[in-house]
Amino acid sequence: MSLNSSQTVHHRDALESIISDRPLKVPQSLDSIASEVYVMSADQLCGELVQQWQSLRQCHEHFSSPYFDPNFIKAVSKVRDDVRIAMVVENRKPVCFLPIQENSKGRAVPAGGRLNDYHGLLGKPADSVAHFKKIMKAVGVKSYAFHALVPPEAERLQPYSFRELRTHHLDLSDGWEAYRKWVRRHSSTVKRQGQKTRNLEKEVGPIRFEFDCSESEVLEQLIALKRAKYQRSKTFDILSVEWAANLLRELHNVKHPNFQGILQAMWAGDELICVHFGMMTDEILHYWFPIFDHHYSRYSPGTEMMLQVAEEACRRGIKKLDLGYGDDAYKFKFCNGNEAVINGQVNFNSLELMIAKKRYELRTKLKEIPMKPLAKTVLRSVFPGFGNWNFK
């Protein structure tokens, strides 16, 4: 059942309204459970539905990620007009949610697309494959492509998995001193950082760090620095996509007790040296868009920034600083924990699934060729927008 966003709920909470508008079928026996899928806009995720959503987040520790917070989904829906939430109901009770957007006609991806670092069915469904079949039929899509699907669904969806990826995080549960001692033992980069930071202060100006910066001008500087780096590295400029940059702007204005977009900045004197934008819940900080001014790279400002963020995060009760998946060098310098997610596609057409898997394998092999840097330079020169299909 697809609900029009103009419907107004009067005198009933959102959950009762949605279910009452289309009564569930009565089970034919005790062994059969009435089940239905409802499709709604993010605006309709309110009241009792939000409480049900938050309750389902308790099913697995991975659902504690900011990406599973309803405020993230609502922010995505404000910068895109194709975000929908599928809700599976059994016995008049939601058992799982799946927020999606359509990357192209008939093909769904997680809400937020490639900017969503953790996703999957939110809940504890008895049969993930059966739920996906119902959801995809109700939404009207033939595939759901995922790139960082979390447990517990990863095991059940192995037939649709192309590759396992590792995520990286800083385990801060024992406090700052315990982590500081660990990282100094395991990272020579961190050991040398003290001298580099002193040189930065001596040659540029005193360090000033702000953990929660409200200045929109600083966010715009982050976007400009990040875009310049994408162009220098011949990488697709994610923030050239209007909705992607606007998502950061939208999240920067979200400030809730258990969820917020957070902008962190470090200056040396009057110079903005390093800046980061991420998301934070009560115990998790997701390190999302870090960047430093490359003119000061000899001082390794990114390392100093990470240490400043981690120390202050500990003071604020953060237990996990999540770096997400990927092989960026800085992640291996700091992480003392990692977890598995999977990349793949739920598609019940076996031929289409096989073709999708072969395409993924081919792209993976092309990324491993020795002349990749030269190939990227040539490719970006001829096709500067190459890769933008991931952000449509």
Q: Which residue has the higher pLDDT, 123 or 105?
A: 123
What residue has token string 């900080």? 285
Q: How far is CA 382 from CA 123, 182, 371, 385, 389, in A?
A: 45, 46, 17, 9, 16
- Look at residue 181 in the predicted model and tell me its pLDDT: 96
**Residue 386 banded pLDDT, cuts 50, 70, 90:** low
For residue 2, give the DSSP letter: B
- Look at residue 311 in the predicted model and tell me its pLDDT: 98
- Look at residue 154 in the predicted model and tell me its pLDDT: 73
Q: Is the pLDDT of residue 4 over 70?
A: no
Specify the pairing of strand 84-90 against strand 35-40.
antiparallel
| Contact present, 225 and 275 (Cβ < 8 Å) | yes
The 10 Å CB-count burial string (b at 16+, else e) for 120-149 is bbbbebeebeebbebbbebbebbbbbbbbb
- If you average pLDDT over residues 116-138, what whole number do you get? 91
Would residue 382 be called left, alpha or beta, if left means φ above 0 and alpha means ψ between -120 and 50 degrees? alpha
Q: Is the pLDDT of residue 375 over 80?
A: no
Torsion of Cα atoms, 71 then 75 then 80 then 82, to 10°: 10
Q: Is the pLDDT of residue 385 over 90?
A: no
Determine the Cα–Cα distance for residues 286 and 323; give it in Å rounded to an integer: 6
- If you average pLDDT over residues 45-61, what whole number do you get? 92
pLDDT mean across residues, the chain: 87
Mind listing the pLDDT tens digit for each residue in 133-179?
999 999 999 999 999 999 777 778 989 999 999 999 999 999 999 99
Q: DSSP 3-state assignment of 238?
A: helix
Q: How far is CA 231 from CA 73, 303, 381, in A?
A: 29, 22, 10
**Residue 32 banded pLDDT, cuts 50, 70, 90:** very low
**Residue 379 banded pLDDT, cuts 50, 70, 90:** low
- Look at residue 179 in the predicted model and tell me its pLDDT: 97
Mind listing the pLDDT tens digit for each residue in 313-358?
999 999 999 999 988 889 999 999 999 999 999 999 999 999 999 9
Domains, the chain, with CATH or none: 14-156 (3.40.630), 169-340 (3.40.630.30)
- Look at residue 14 in the predicted model and tell me its pLDDT: 53
Determine the Cα–Cα distance for residues 342 and 344; give it in Å rounded to an integer: 7
- Look at residue 18 in the predicted model and tell me its pLDDT: 53
- Look at residue 17 in the predicted model and tell me its pLDDT: 54
Q: Which residue has the higher pLDDT, 153 or 307?
A: 307
Mind listing the pLDDT tens digit for each residue in 92-103?
889 999 999 987
Structure tokens at 87: 């809700």
Q: Is the pLDDT of residue 251 over 90?
A: yes
Q: Is the pLDDT of residue 300 over 80?
A: yes
CB count, 10 Å around CB of 119? 26
Determine the Cα–Cα distance for residues 149 and 339; give it in Å rounded to an integer: 11
Q: Is the pLDDT of residue 378 over 70?
A: no
Mind listing the pLDDT tens digit for each residue in 189-230?
899 999 999 999 999 999 999 999 999 999 999 999 999 999
- Look at residue 104 in the predicted model and tell me its pLDDT: 76
Instruction: Please confirm whether the linkage preceding 206 is cis (ω < 30° from 0).
Output: no
**Which of 55-59, 126-130, 230-234, 377-381 is the least confident region?**
377-381
Structure tokens at 135: 């959801």
- Look at residue 201 in the predicted model and tell me its pLDDT: 97
Mind listing the pLDDT tens digit for each residue in 228-237?
999 998 888 9
